[in-house]
Amino acid sequence: MGTLTAGCVRLLTSSLAALGVVGLMAGCTTFNERVCEKGEYAVRATAAPETGRTCVPNGQEPPPGYERFPPGQTPTYPEDDRP
């Protein structure tokens, strides 16, 4: 195995630094996952054994066993309905 030249060391060091910057930038970006897709709204289950929620296209009524959330309580993001 040969020795590393100064140019090779600089290239390796700058490559690692660039990867570190990209990693930091990726960690700083925010991405807000939504409960439902655009054009849908969340409804909650009412009938046992069903629990949780599902999404319904805007303009349609919830399916049997589901109801709309009370006004002002419809979650937009997953963390909206955490205590």
Higher pLDDT, 60 or 7: 60
Rounded to 5°, the CA angle 52-53-58 comes to: 175
Question: What per-residue confidence (pLDDT) applies to 48?
Answer: 72
Q: What are the φ/ψ torsions at residue 45 (nearest 5 degrees)? A: -75, 145
Indicate the helix (H) or strand (E) that contains 56.
strand 53-57
Global confidence as pTM: 0.56
Question: What per-residue confidence (pLDDT) applies to 27?
Answer: 57
- CA distances (Å), origin 13, targets 57, 68, 69: 52, 56, 54
Give the mean model confidence (pLDDT) for residues 66-81: 86
* Sheet of strand 40-45, all strands in order from the earlier edge strand to the far edge: 53-57, 40-45, 66-68
